[in-house]
Amino acid sequence: MLSLSINSHAPEPQYIQVYTQIRDQIKNGDLPYGSRLPSIRSLQQHMHISKTTVETAYQMLVTEGYVISKPRSGLYVASPFQLEPPQTQTRQMVDQKDLSSLPFAPGVASALIDFRPSAIHEQTFPFRLWRKMLHHALDHAQHKICSYGDPQGELSFRTVLASYLRHSRGVRCVPEQIVVSSGIQYSIAILIKLLQGVNHIAFEEPGYAPVRDHFLQSGYRVTPIGVDEKGISLDEVARSQAQVVYITPSHQFPTGSIIPYPERERLLQWARTNEAFIIEDDYDGEFRYVGKPIPSLQGLDHAGRVVYLGTFSKVFSPALRMSYMVLPAELARKLPSIQYLYQGPSRIDQWAMQAFMEQGHWYRHIRRIRRTYAKAHHRFIELLHAYLGELVTISGHNAGLHVQLTVKTREPASSLVKRAAENGVQVYDVSELWMTPPASEYPRIYMGFAGMDESKMEEGIKRLSQAWKGISELSR
């Protein structure tokens, strides 16, 4: 069926609107040569317009040579030799050529050993079990498969998720407070709708740029707040007069700092006193290598000021595109007013994850990947010490799936990243995560370790040492 729209308030008659839209789709290549147009009757019924309107528009297209009539068959888009060359096809060829020259163009495979912090190892994914859970979901949902679900997420899944969060992260909530969504940025988009009247947010500096940019593009005033070894500066937060603060308290991205208990209580007190909200992004709170995992900030909140964000990307798979948000009661009550603006991820995936949890596979999976990543983390730190030695200082390595390196050189971080890439290694410049990069003494780099096996990890760090050979201040 053609993609057409009729504007009843437009000055042009409806037959002109139909004719113009079909003509333009033919000229720009959206309707290629040989395409058959819908019959007059089917287009009339689909568009809810008169038969005369369609007949007149079609007759104009035939008269001007855009379509030809084949007896007892219908109307077809005319040969391209009878028309102007489709402009869209030419433009697409140019655009694709331009894209192919980009270093990270879609579909262009990179030969680099990539220490991307968001990557996880493919061997951690339970392919056999997940396939079984998908079959289970389909077998037990035949009566629901042909209908839309709750935009907030399947109630049965949210019930299981609430229990898991309570036991694993100390999150105190009921299913009605949970929104299941398709990624953290999707959760942020929903949250912005719920925070009507709020337009000033304090944000970690450096911090997670995709979320920060989402707030900026939504018209928020974003105040950057410095981060030290105890996390975000609470004094700066208080001075900012922001209405919301975004934090990654269990493993700050990218510095790796962790907010200790006393500072968490001070932050909660600030939120209570100022009737402000705290957005707690617990993106890799499951992974801690020194001491016990720190419970969530939300679990300490007794005033309903914390929005808790979590994702399955790090502990399961980013391909699932499934995250969740736990709202304070005040915001949860506003959900019905915006439900038409959002829709949760695949119901089938939600049912499969529910079964995965209910049958105990999730907890075994978590234990297994904790052991896997603890081993990878230990080896990663060993290799950094072995190959880079005194050239770097490692920080943020007590938790999470990435570390930060302070490199003892006067070369800028951009030069270090370029040197690494020339030796087949991709590392990341911390300054790119700042709104206003500071004039620091030494450049800082961040690297993830979860997306590769030990041999590739060692090869990458070995290449990195070769790329950065001779840059140290210590050798001068």
Q: What is the pTM of this model?
A: 0.73
Contact indicator for 253, 280 with CB cutoff of 8 Å: no
Give dist(CA 211, CA 218) in Å, integer: 11
Least confident of 139-153, 162-176, 367-381, 423-437: 139-153
Contact indicator for 338, 152 with CB cutoff of 8 Å: no
Span 338-349, mean pLDDT? 80
Could you read off the pLDDT of 69-81 as tens digits, one per residue? 887 788 888 866 4
Span 197-208, mean pLDDT? 92
> What integer pLDDT is reported at residue 79 of this predicted model?
66
Q: Enumerate domains of the chain plus CATH numbers.
A: 14-82 (1.10.10.10), 113-120+366-475 (3.90.1150.10), 125-363 (3.40.640.10)
Range ranked top by mean pLDDT from 73-77, 85-89, 355-359: 355-359
Give dist(CA 330, CA 450) in Å, integer: 38
pLDDT higher than 50, residue 90: no
Contact indicator for 105, 99 with CB cutoff of 8 Å: yes
Could you read off the pLDDT of 395-425 as tens digits, one per residue? 877 777 888 999 999 899 999 999 999 999 9
Across the beta sheet with 444-448, the strand order is 392-395, 402-407, 444-448, 428-429
Range ranked top by mean pLDDT from 99-103, 114-118, 175-179, 284-288: 175-179
Least confident of 43-57, 148-162, 227-241: 43-57
Give dist(CA 428, CA 453) in Å, integer: 19
> What integer pLDDT is reported at residue 101 of this predicted model?
43
Q: Where are the alpha helices (DSSP H) in 200-288?
A: 209-217, 234-240, 261-274
> What integer pLDDT is reported at residue 349 of this predicted model?
95
**Angle in degrees, 0-180, between the axes of helices 361-388 and 454-467, rounded to the nearest 10:** 30
> What integer pLDDT is reported at residue 100 of this predicted model?
44
> What integer pLDDT is reported at residue 358 of this predicted model?
94
| Look-up of token digits 């990341």 | 428
> What integer pLDDT is reported at residue 64 of this predicted model?
77
Span 299-315, mean pLDDT? 92
> What integer pLDDT is reported at residue 253 of this predicted model?
85
> What integer pLDDT is reported at residue 89 of this predicted model?
45
- Give residues with Cβ within 8 angstroms of 284, minimum separation 6: 250, 251, 314, 399, 400, 401
> What integer pLDDT is reported at residue 143 of this predicted model?
80
